[in-house]
Amino acid sequence: MTPVALTLSSRRTTRRLAADAGLLVVAAAFVLPLAWVVLSSLDPRADLRVKAPDGLTLDNFDAILTSDITFTPLLNSLVLCGSATLLTVVCAALAAYPLSRFRSRFNRPFLLTILFATSLPITAIMVPVYALFVQVDLIDTMQGTIFFFAASQLPFAIWLMKNFMDGVPKELEEAAWTDGAGSLQSLVRIVLPLMGPGVAVVTVFCFVMMWGNFFVPFMLLLTPDQMPASVSINDFFGNRGMVAYGQLAAFSIVYSTPVILLYVLIARRLGGGFALGGAVKG
């Protein structure tokens, strides 16, 4: 090989090694916190260090698997996030359908307004929302928190749903309209089944964003028995800096389980394309 070729090969090797090293650093940034959670949940003397457990034990899980600490907050989280996700997906589908299927000069301004709404920090609107909820007697209620959860996720859900809905051929609906189906029937029986992966993406996105939200339920719910797991996890941080690290890690694993199960259950749909099959043939 010529000196020039050797120099180019050496540069490529150096760049590849630098890229691999950078990827390893990024991977370590993700793996180390997960390793700490798993190892600390089994460590009777867990602390902030990532280390092998000083003997394996399930005492941390035994300590948290009670009604007051885990089961009631998890049930509250499932009720809040599940109901709000269902409400968000239904409203997003109904709002995205006319935006996708009918052309209007107001479509673009409306979509830009929705996009702007997704960029609003939730902390900036919590004070007026809190004052409004006090006036309409929705403070410290599950239904009020569900409505606000749904409203906060609805703009981005509409944006996503509309983009997925654009991928379903309108000719399929026109054939259904010819057979006497209405717009709502074609949406429910044709469009939504064909954009199943899109609905799954919107569902997972909304549920995950609500599941990890601490600020909203902390502000809108006052009764301890109604607090979701995202708020009750704060109880593991004691006074004067004392933290039950082992129990915190064990609770984190249990707290993450519903989200992982949700993703596993619909992973097959997330990996698939639109189920058009041969629907537009002929």
CATH classification number, 75-232+255-270, choose in 1.10.1060.10, 3.40.1390.10, 1.10.3720.10, 3.40.50.200: 1.10.3720.10
Write the pLDDT tens digit of every residue in 111-136.
Answer: 788 777 777 788 888 888 899 999 99
pLDDT of residue 238: 64
pLDDT of residue 221: 92
Average pLDDT, the chain: 83
pLDDT of residue 141: 93
Write the pLDDT tens digit of every residue in 253-262.
Answer: 999 999 888 8
243 φ/ψ angles, rounded to the nearest 5 degrees: -130, 135
Where do the domains of the chain lie?
75-232+255-270
CB atoms within 10 A of CB 145: 27
Among 37, 25, 56, which Cα is nearest to 260's?
37
**Locus of tokens 């600490």:** 69
28-42 residues labelled b (16+ CB within 10 A) or e (exposed) = eeeeeeeebbbbbbb
Position 54, amino acid: D
Provide CB contacts within 8 A for 130, sequence distance 6+.
Answer: 139, 219, 220
**pTM of the predicted protein model:** 0.82
> Residue 212: how many CA atoms within 13 Å on its side-chain side?
10
Position 242, amino acid: M
Hey, which bits of 158-212 come out as E strands? none
What is the C-alpha separation between 199 and 253, in angstroms, rounded?
A: 27
> Residue 111: how many CA atoms within 13 Å on its side-chain side?
16
Instruction: Give me the helix-helix angle, 142-165 and 196-211, nearest 10°.
Output: 150
Tokens of 39: 């190892």
Per-residue pLDDT of the chain (282 residues; tens, 9 = 90+): 566 555 667 777 788 888 888 888 888 888 888 888 889 888 888 888 888 887 888 888 998 999 888 999 999 999 999 999 999 999 999 988 888 887 777 778 887 887 777 777 888 888 888 999 999 999 999 999 999 999 989 988 998 898 888 888 877 777 777 777 777 788 888 888 888 888 888 999 999 999 999 999 999 998 989 999 999 888 887 654 578 888 989 999 999 999 888 888 877 656 544 444 444 443
What is the C-alpha separation between 76 and 67, in angstroms, rounded?
A: 12
What is the C-alpha separation between 150 and 80, in angstroms, rounded?
A: 10
The full DSSP string for 94-110 is: HHHHHHHHS--TTHHHH
Specify burial of residue 223 (Cβ count, 10 A radius: 0-12, 13-18, 19+): exposed
Write the pLDDT tens digit of every residue in 225-251.
Answer: 999 999 988 888 765 457 888 898 999
pLDDT of residue 277: 43
Q: Maximum Cα–Cα distance for the chain, whole Å?
A: 81
Q: Decide: 31 and 50 in contact? Cβ < 8 Å.
A: no
